[in-house]
Structure 1
Amino acid sequence: MQKFTLFLLFSFAITQLQAQLSGILTDAGGQALPFASIYLKGSTTGTTTNVNGEYTLYLNPGTYDVVFQYIGYEQKTLKVTMTREPQKLNVSLKEAAVELSEFVVRSNAEDPAYPIIRAAIKKREFYRTQVEEYRCDAYVKGNIAFAQTPKKIMGQEIGTMGGMLDSTGKGIIYLSESRSNLFFRRPDQYREEMIYSKVSGNDQGFGFNRAQDMDFSPYESYSELGRRIVSPIADNALFYYKYKLIGTITDEQGRAIKKIQLIPKRSEDPVYRGYIYIVDQDWAVQSADFILLQSAIKQPGLDTLWIKQVFLPIDNTEDVWRTFSVNIKFKAGALGFKLIGSFTSILSNYNIKPAFEDKFFTNEVFIVKEGANDKNQAFWDTLRPIPLTEDEVKDYTKKDSLQVLWKSKPWKDSVDRKNNKFTVMKLLTGYTYSRSYYRENFNIASPLGTIQFNTVQGYNASLNLAYNKDFDEYNMKWYRLNGAVNYGFSEKEFRASGSYLRQFEGIHRSQLSIGGGRQAVQFNPNEPITLMVNSIYSLLSRHNYMKLYDKVFARVGFGRELTNGIRLNSSLEWANRRKLDNTSDQSWYQRDDPNRRAYTENIPSIIAQNFDQSRALTLNLAFSFRPGQKYYTYPGRKYVAEVNGPEYFLNYRGGFGDVNYHLISVAIEEDNLPLGAWGYSAFRVQGGSFVQRKSLEFMDFMHFNGNQTILGDQERYMNSFLLLPYYEYSTDRAFFQAHWQHHFEGAILDWIPLIKKLGWKLVLGGHFLQVEQKKSYYELTAGIENVGFGVFRLFRFDIAASRQAGGKWNVGPVFGISL
C-alpha cells in the first residue's frame, strides 16, 4: 500500500511538470479530422483527435518533432518547443496525392494490387510473430448514445430515462474512460491491469473497456466480431476478396504506401470493405480503414461497423510495427431505438523487451485495481489523451449530479411507486413490487401463464411467489426465496413447495440451497417436455407424453468453485416417491367421437414392473473442470472470460434407503470449436454406468432427453435427441451418448442467390446413443437457424432422420425457438 501511495504521488508530481499541447486538426477546407493520430516522431507516445478533431498531448519541457497523421492524408511533422505553459497548435492536413500506377490494360489482366497482397500474405506470419512479448500503456474511451428513441414501447412511456435523454429522445447512455497497463506474450497470453476507470453517472462503477478486446490485427487470419471476419491478408483471403490498387502515397520518410481497395467477391461473405494501406517492399500494414455491413457480420440489430487502425514503427525500428490506435464506430437499432457509438483505444509507450518474471502470466487476464474508480474529474483532466467533446463534458457534469439523485431513497421510492402500480397487462407478465433502495423485490408470476393441463391433475394452476434480496450493488451477495402452490381440479389435490438460495460472495460464487415440499414431477428430472407443450399435445391430439409421479421431499445443496476452472455442485435429498394415475380424460380432440384415441397410462411403457411407493436418500456430486479457464477480476468479484476449450464433467449419484445403487458418469463438451470462416462446431460426449444396482426405481434410471413432438428447444439440442421417444432408452446399465452440431454461420447459404438475402444459417448435426442390451440409435439433422426478421431471429427449422441399428429410417420436422 505504501508503494502504491508513493507511485500516485510520483505520478501526480510528473503531471505537474508537464505542459499541454492542444489544438484542432482539420483538412484543407477546415473540416475536422476525427480520430487522427498525433505522436512524437520515432516513438509511440501520442494521442488521437476526438470526433471534433480536437487533440491534447501532455509533454515535459523540451523540443519535439510532432507528427500529425490521418488515413489518406499527407503526414505533417512540426518541431514544437514546450515550456511549462500550455500551447495551442492548430494544424491543417492536405489530402494525400495518390500517384496512379501505370500498367497496361489487357483482356483478363490482373490488377496490380494482387502482387502486393500476395507479398503481404507471405509476410503476414513474420509480422504476426516478430514480437515475442511487450508491455504498453492503454487508454480506452467508450461512448454510446441514443440517436432516436420511440415515445412508447409495449405501452410504456420511454420518457427521459431518469434524465439521460433530452426532449428529442437523444442522449448519451454510456460514457467511460479507462487507463490500463497491457502485457502480452506469444502466442496468446494477455494480462491487463486497469489502474484508473471512470464511468459517467456511477462513481462506483467500472467500464467494460478492455484494450485486449480491441485487437483486430489484420495479421491474424480472423477477427472475432460475433462472426469470424476474414482478414484481407489471410492465407485464404483471395477466395473472399477482390482487390484494386488505387495508387501510391509517399510519406515524409519517403516510404511508398500502397492504397488498396477491398471488394467482397460475395456481398454476404464475412469480409471487410474499405481500404488497406501497405508499405511497399516491407509489406507491413501502415493503416486500415474497414467497413462491415450487416450482411457480412449478421448480427441482428447491428447496421454498420467501421474500424480504423494505425500502425507505427517502434523507436525508429522500421521493420517492427505495432498498433498505435484503434477506433470502432457503429450504428445499430431495433424497436424504434437507434444507437450510435464509438470505442477508441490508444496503445503507447511500447517496451518490446520487458523481461517478464516467471509466472507473470496466469489465467487471470484482466484485473481492476482497488481504488481504480475513486479519481475525480480534475485528476482525469490531467490524464486523458483524447479531449472530451462538449456533449461528453455536459454528460459527466449532469450525471455526476444525477447519480446523487438516482441513489437517494426519495428518487428510488418515486420510481418504485410508478412501477409498482398494478395494470391489467401484469396478469400476463406477472407483478413485481420493488423496494429498490433496500435492494429487494417481491414477485408474483402471471397466474394466467400457470394454467396447464395434464391427465393426472386435469386442468391445474399454480401460484408462484418469489422474494429477492441483494446485499451489494454488484449483485454478488444475495438470497432468493421461492414458493409455489399448485392445485389440480380433476385430481382435487393441493401441492406446495419452497426453496431458499443464498450466494455469499462473488469470487468463488459459494451458494447454499435448501428446499422441500410436495410436487408432481417427471420421471426424467431434466423435464424433456414442457408443461405448455404437453398441454397443447394433450388437448389438441390426445397425446399425454408427460409422465408424472408424486414426490414429497427435503433437499439441501451446496456449490462452490474450488479453484479456478473447477467447480463442485452437490445435493442431498430425501424423498418419498408415490405412483400417480390419470384422473382426467378431457381433450378438444374429436370431442364427440366415441372411438377417439385413448390416453396412455401415466407410466412409461418400458417399465417392466409398476411401483407404488419408495423412499430414497439421494446424494449428487458433480464436478466440472475447464483447463486453463481465463477470467476477469474486479474488486470483490470474478467473471469467466470468453470460453475457449472443452469442459470436463465427473458426476456421481448414489441412492440409499429403499433403493441401493451407485451411478458414475463422465462427459466432455465443447461449445465453440472454430473452423475459420466455415463457422464453428459444438459437441458433447457422455458415458457412464451403474457400478452397483441392487435396487432402484424407474425415476432412478439414467434418462435421455427425447422428443416426440414437432417442437424443440434450441438451447438443449446439444444434450437432446430430436425424434427419440422419451423413455424408450432409459437404463439402469452402461450407456454412451454423443451429440455434434456444426453451425456454418452464413457459409454455403450466402452463396445462393435470393436465399443469401434472408440471413439464414445452415446447421448440420448428428446424435448417437448406445445402452446395454439395446440396439444403437442414430440421428442425423439438417436445419436452418437465424430465421425471423430484424432482431427477432428466434427460430430454427430442422429435418431429422433417425433409426435403430438394422432398422428403417424415420424422418420428421422439428421447429425450434430460442428466447
Structure 2
Amino acid sequence: MKHLILGGILTLFSCSFLLSQTKVGGQVYDSNKQPIPFANIVFVNSTVGTITDENGRFYMESDDNHSSIKISFIGFETKTIKLTKKVTYNMEITLAEEAAALDEVVIYKGKTSKKNNPAIDILRKIWKNRRVNGVKKFKQYQYDKYEKLEFDLNTIDSALINSRIFNGMEFIFDDVDTSRITGKTYLPIFLNEAISQVYGDNTSNDYKEVLKGNKNAGFSDNQTLIAFVKDLYSDYDVYDNYLKFFDKSFTSPLSRTGIDVYNYVLSDSAYIDNKWCYNIVYYPRRKNELTFQGDFWVNDTTWAIKDINLEVTKSANINWVKDLYIEQEFDVLNDSIFLITKDYFQSDFAFSKKEKSRGVYGKRTTLYDNYKFDVKKNKKFYKTQVDPYDQDIYNREDSFWQNARMEELNKDEKKVYKLLDTLRTVKAFKRLYNIGTILASGYVEFNGFDFGPLFSTVGFNAIEGWRVRAGGRTYFTPNDRWRIEGYGAYGFRDNKFKYGVSGKYLVDRKSRLIVSAGNRRDVEQLGASLTNTNDVEGRSLASSSIVTTGDNTRLTSINLSAFSMQIEPRKNFTFGVTGSFRTLKPADRALFSLDFIDEDTNELRSEIKQTEISTQLAYTPGRKTTGYGVDRITVNDGDFATLFLNYSVGVKGILESDFDYQKVQFFYRQPWNIGGFGVLNSSLELGKTYGEVPLGLLSVVPGNQTYLSIYNTFPLLNFYEFVTDTYASLHLEHNFNGRIFSRIPLLRKLNLRELVGIRGVWGELSEENLLLSAPSNEILIAPDDEVYWEYSFGVGNIFKIFRIDFHFRGNYFDNPDARKFGVTGSFGFYF
C-alpha cells in the first residue's frame, strides 16, 4: 500500500489527448423519474455500446461518426434518439414501460429466470467449450506482448488548476482530454512501456516471459513503483471462475457460479468479422458483492468470446477504487480458434465514490501478436533464468520502440516523456515528490543518506519508560550493492543508551551472494515469535508498543553480534549460514529473572553467553520482487507461500559460550484464495530443542499484551505464559471480504468485512530444562496436557481503515493471570 501512496502523489502530473468522433453521456430514467440501472445503450448499426451504472448514468464514444443511439432494457420500450451533435453530454432519457412483450422475445423483469433463459443456455455452451479456446488448445504456444501502463489525474476543473499545490507547474494543464470510458477530463502523469516475448507449455505447465525492452516517463530509476503498478494489474483469464484484482476475487460473468450472482439477458445478435455472434447483457443480482456489470459477444459455433466488457459496480465492497473497467478483444485464427489480441484495464483510485470526486486513473493496455504454436522448448529453456536487470533493456533507442510497438503512441502520449523530464527540474514538483517519498518509505532522503524510519521514533515499555529512537541508512540508489544501517535509542526511565549497527554487501548479483554483519545492544521482548532470527536490526513491537495490557516487565537486555552469508541459487530459494554470539540478562532483575545454575562451577548465574551457528533454507514460490541491489522490495506481500527451515547448533566454550544444544524449526505460511468466499491465511510452526538449556534459550509461545492485532501471536496469552522446548502451532484466519454482511440489509451499505480465526499450540518442557531454570523462580508451564486454543471474531473495513477483533480463550483458565476475553485492533489501508 505504501507504494500506492507514492504512485498517487506522482500522479499529480502530465498530459494526454485522444480524439474521438462521437461522444454521448447522460442518465436514463423511467416515467417516475427513477434511474434505470443496467440499461443497454448502443450506437445504431454498430456493436459499440455500454450499459448504465447503478444510478442510470452512462458515457460512451466511438472513433466513427454515428447519427443515433438505441436504449433498451427488459420491461421497457426500446427508444432510438437522433444525435444532432458529435458531442452530446448530460442527456436525460426517459423509457416508457412496455405494455406487452413481443411474442418472439422473452422479457424478464427484476431478477432474470434461471430456467428457459436463452442467455443462460448460451452461457452453458461457453462453459463446455472454454478449455478448448485460445492458447489452451495447443501443446505449446508463444507470442509477442506489448504493455502500456499509464497514470492520469482525473476530473480536471478550474478549482484544481488554480490550486496552490500547482504553483509553478501551471504549464502541465495546457492539454487535457476526456476519458472514452467515463467522459471525465484527465491529465496523464506517468507512462511505462514494455515489450516481451512469452512462451508456454500446456503439457508441462511451464511458462516464461522474456522482457525485451522497458521505457517510462521521468522515473526510469523507480522500478519499485513500476513493479507495484504491474502487480495491481496482474494477468487474468475471463474464462476463470474468479478474477483477482486488488487482493479481491471477483466472480467472472463467465463463471459456472455466475448464474447465482448475475442476471443474464440475450440482447442482440449480429455479424462481427464475418462471424455470427450473440450479445448478452449481465448485471448483479445483489448489491455490495464483488461482481461486474457489462456485456459480451459470443460466437455461435465455437462459443468463444469475441468481445467482453466488465465494469465493477459502485456498491462492490472494495476500497479506494471508484471505478474499474475492463474490455478484451479476440480475433479468429484458422476460422475457429479465438485468440486474445487486446486487453484494456482502467481503474479510478479515489478516496470517495461520489460521482464528482477527484481521483487517479490507472490504465493498462496490453496487445498480443505473432502467435506461434506447437514449437517445443526443452526443460532447460524454461528453467534458465534470464537476467531481468540488464540495463540495455531499460535504455533502448527510439528506433527499437518505433519498430517494436504494436500501437503507436498518440502525439500527447509522446509529450508525457518530455513533460515529466521537465517537471523533475521544477522546485515545486521536487517538494511534492519528496513528501510522497517520505510517506511511502518512512525515511527522509538526503544525499546518500536516509534518516528514519520515522514511524519508530517513540515507544514505551515498563523498563525504559518513554523511549526515543533515531537512525538511518546509506542510500544512493535503490540498487546499491552495499548498505550500512544504524540507530541509537534512549530510555528515560532506565537512563540507558542503546544502539544497533549493521552492514551488508552484494558480492555476486547473479547468485545473490550477500555477506552481512552487525551488533545490537538493546532491550527486547524475547519470545515475540517462535521462529528465531538473528537480525541485528530487528526489534519486537511488543517491547515498544505505547499501550499494553497487564505488566510488561519480562524484558531482556541483549547484546547480539552476528555474521552471515546468504545465496539464492534458484529464484525465490535462499540458503544462508549465520554465526552469532549473544549475551542475555534481565533488563530489571528485580522484576524478571533468567537465573540458572552453571553446571561447571555450580554457581548461580543471571547472564547467558551463547555462541550459535544457524543454517537456514527459505522457499517463497510466487514471490515478486523489484530491485537488483543488496536490498530488494517484495511487491506482492502476503500473496505467496513461505517455507522456512532453520537448524541451529549451540557451541559451548567458544567465546565463553555456556551451552551445547541443537534446535530444529520449521515454518510454513500459505494464503488460500477461496473464490467468492474470501481468503484463508494459514501458518504452521514446528520446533524442537535437543539438549539442556535455560529459560533464555527456550521457545516461548508468543503472547500478545498489546492492543494491536498481530498475526501469529496468541492475543490472550501473557508473555512467558507458556514455555517449551518442543512445540507445534497452527493459526487459521479467514476473511470473508463482506460476503455475509453484504446480505444483511442494515449492514450492507457499511461495506464491513467479517473475519474468523482459530489458533492452537501444543508443547512440552523436559524435567531437565525445568530444573535448570528453577532458580529463576519463574512459573514455567507448557501446554502438554492438551492443545491450548483460542478463537476470535473480527469486523474489518470500519471507516475503511480500522479493524477490531474479539478474542475468546478456549482452555487453561487456571493459569496465573489468565485472560478469558480480549479485544485488539489495527489500522491499515486495504483495497
TM-score norm. by structure 2 comes to: 0.72
8 Å CA contact 2:595–2:605 kept in 1: the answer is no
Partner residue in 2 for 1:360: 381
- After superposition, give the CA deviation of every residue in 1:347-403 in whole Å (9 maximum; x if it has no partner): 012112223234322385994655223234455344433333343222222234556
Kindly state the Cα deviation for residue 663 of structure 1 after the two structures are TM-superposed: 3.8
Kindly state the Cα deviation for residue 551 of structure 1 after the two structures are TM-superposed: 3.3
Partner residue in 2 for 1:564: 571
8 Å CA contact 1:560–1:567 kept in 2: the answer is yes
Structure 1 pair 532/807, CA: closer, same or farther in 2 (3 Å)? closer
Q: Residue 660 of structure 1 aligns to a residue in which SS?
A: coil
Partner residue in 2 for 1:803: 811
Q: Residue 719 of structure 2 aligns to a residue in which SS?
A: coil
8 Å CA contact 1:683–1:739 kept in 2: the answer is yes
Kindly state the Cα deviation for residue 764 of structure 1 after the two structures are TM-superposed: 1.9
Partner residue in 1 for 2:208: 191
Partner residue in 2 for 1:83: none
* Matching of residue 308 in structure 1 with residue 361 in structure 2: no
Question: Does 696-705 or 498-507 show the bigger shift?
Answer: 498-507
Kindly state the Cα deviation for residue 545 of structure 1 after the two structures are TM-superposed: 2.2
Q: Measure, in 1, the Cα distance between the counterparts of 2:231 and 2:455.
A: 44
Q: Measure, in 1, the Cα distance between the counterparts of 2:322 and 2:701.
A: 42
Q: Which of 273, 290, 297 lines up with 1:270 in the alignment?
A: 290
Q: Residue 263 of structure 1 aligns to a residue in which SS?
A: strand
Kindly state the Cα deviation for residue 217 of structure 1 after the two structures are TM-superposed: 2.4
Partner residue in 2 for 1:78: none
Q: Which of 613, 616, 620 lines up with 1:623 in the alignment?
A: 616
Kindly state the Cα deviation for residue 807 of structure 1 after the two structures are TM-superposed: 10
Q: Measure, in 2, the Cα distance between the counterparts of 1:374 and 1:737.
A: 50
8 Å CA contact 2:741–2:748 kept in 1: the answer is yes
Partner residue in 1 for 2:450: 441
8 Å CA contact 2:346–2:363 kept in 1: the answer is yes
Q: Residue 359 of structure 1 aligns to a residue in which SS?
A: helix
Kindly state the Cα deviation for residue 813 of structure 1 after the two structures are TM-superposed: 3.3
Partner residue in 1 for 2:647: 652
8 Å CA contact 2:594–2:606 kept in 1: the answer is no
Structure 1 pair 466/178, CA: closer, same or farther in 2 (3 Å)? closer
8 Å CA contact 2:323–2:348 kept in 1: the answer is yes
* Matching of residue 730 in structure 1 with residue 720 in structure 2: no
Kindly state the Cα deviation for residue 149 of structure 1 after the two structures are TM-superposed: 8.9
* Matching of residue 524 in structure 1 with residue 544 in structure 2: no
Partner residue in 2 for 1:814: 823
Q: Residue 754 of structure 1 aligns to a residue in which SS?
A: helix
* Matching of residue 549 in structure 1 with residue 561 in structure 2: no
8 Å CA contact 1:135–1:181 kept in 2: the answer is yes
Partner residue in 2 for 1:468: 474
8 Å CA contact 1:779–1:800 kept in 2: the answer is no
Structure 1 pair 528/605, CA: closer, same or farther in 2 (3 Å)? farther
Letter in 2 for 1:220: D
Q: Which of 708, 712, 715 lines up with 1:712 in the alignment?
A: 708
Question: Does 603-612 or 698-707 show the bigger shift?
Answer: 603-612
Q: Measure, in 2, the Cα distance between the counterparts of 1:358 and 1:818.
A: 46
Partner residue in 2 for 1:667: 666
Q: Measure, in 2, the Cα distance between the counterparts of 1:257 and 1:101.
A: 22
Structure 1 pair 201/623, CA: closer, same or farther in 2 (3 Å)? same
Q: Which of 606, 611, 615 lines up with 1:613 in the alignment?
A: 606
Kindly state the Cα deviation for residue 810 of structure 1 after the two structures are TM-superposed: 6.7
Q: Which of 778, 783, 792 lines up with 2:793 in the alignment?
A: 783
Partner residue in 1 for 2:12: none
Structure 1 pair 70/125, CA: closer, same or farther in 2 (3 Å)? same
Cα RMSD after superposing both structures: 4.6
Letter in 1 for 2:303: W
Unaligned runs of 5+ in 1: 1-23, 34-67, 74-89, 421-425, 584-600
* Matching of residue 177 in structure 1 with residue 193 in structure 2: yes
Q: Which of 475, 484, 499 lines up with 2:488 in the alignment?
A: 484
Letter in 1 for 2:306: Q
Partner residue in 2 for 1:201: 218
Q: Residue 558 of structure 2 aligns to a residue in which SS?
A: strand
Kindly state the Cα deviation for residue 796 of structure 1 after the two structures are TM-superposed: 3.2
Larger proportion of strand: 1
Kindly state the Cα deviation for residue 268 of structure 1 after the two structures are TM-superposed: 2.1
Structure 1 pair 305/279, CA: closer, same or farther in 2 (3 Å)? same
* Matching of residue 326 in structure 1 with residue 338 in structure 2: no
Q: Which of 695, 700, 715 lines up with 2:697 in the alignment?
A: 700
Partner residue in 2 for 1:682: 681
Structure 1 pair 334/618, CA: closer, same or farther in 2 (3 Å)? farther
* Matching of residue 135 in structure 1 with residue 172 in structure 2: no
Q: Residue 645 of structure 2 aligns to a residue in which SS?
A: strand
8 Å CA contact 2:730–2:760 kept in 1: the answer is yes
Structure 1 pair 610/743, CA: closer, same or farther in 2 (3 Å)? farther
Kindly state the Cα deviation for residue 749 of structure 1 after the two structures are TM-superposed: 2.4
Partner residue in 1 for 2:412: 391
Kindly state the Cα deviation for residue 607 of structure 1 after the two structures are TM-superposed: 13
Partner residue in 2 for 1:239: 260
Partner residue in 1 for 2:750: 758
Kindly state the Cα deviation for residue 177 of structure 1 after the two structures are TM-superposed: 1.7
Partner residue in 2 for 1:343: 364
Q: Residue 113 of structure 1 aligns to a residue in which SS?
A: helix
Q: Measure, in 2, the Cα distance between the counterparts of 1:433 and 1:633.
A: 21
Structure 1 pair 395/550, CA: closer, same or farther in 2 (3 Å)? closer
Partner residue in 2 for 1:498: 500
- How many equivalent pairs are there? 686
Partner residue in 2 for 1:452: 460
Structure 1 pair 453/682, CA: closer, same or farther in 2 (3 Å)? closer
* Matching of residue 260 in structure 1 with residue 260 in structure 2: no
- After superposition, give the CA deviation of every residue in 1:253-290 in whole Å (9 maximum; x if it has no partner): 2x321111112122222222100211123211111011
Kindly state the Cα deviation for residue 213 of structure 1 after the two structures are TM-superposed: 5.8
Structure 1 pair 678/525, CA: closer, same or farther in 2 (3 Å)? closer
Letter in 1 for 2:671: N
Q: Measure, in 1, the Cα distance between the counterparts of 2:69 and 2:441.
A: 62
Kindly state the Cα deviation for residue 751 of structure 1 after the two structures are TM-superposed: 2.0
Partner residue in 1 for 2:781: none
Partner residue in 1 for 2:739: 747
Partner residue in 2 for 1:380: 401
Q: Measure, in 1, the Cα distance between the counterparts of 2:440 and 2:681.
A: 34
Q: Residue 705 of structure 1 aligns to a residue in which SS?
A: coil
Structure 1 pair 800/476, CA: closer, same or farther in 2 (3 Å)? farther
Structure 1 pair 668/321, CA: closer, same or farther in 2 (3 Å)? farther
Q: Measure, in 2, the Cα distance between the counterparts of 1:301 and 1:429.
A: 17
Letter in 2 for 1:302: V
Give aligned-pair identity as a percent.
17
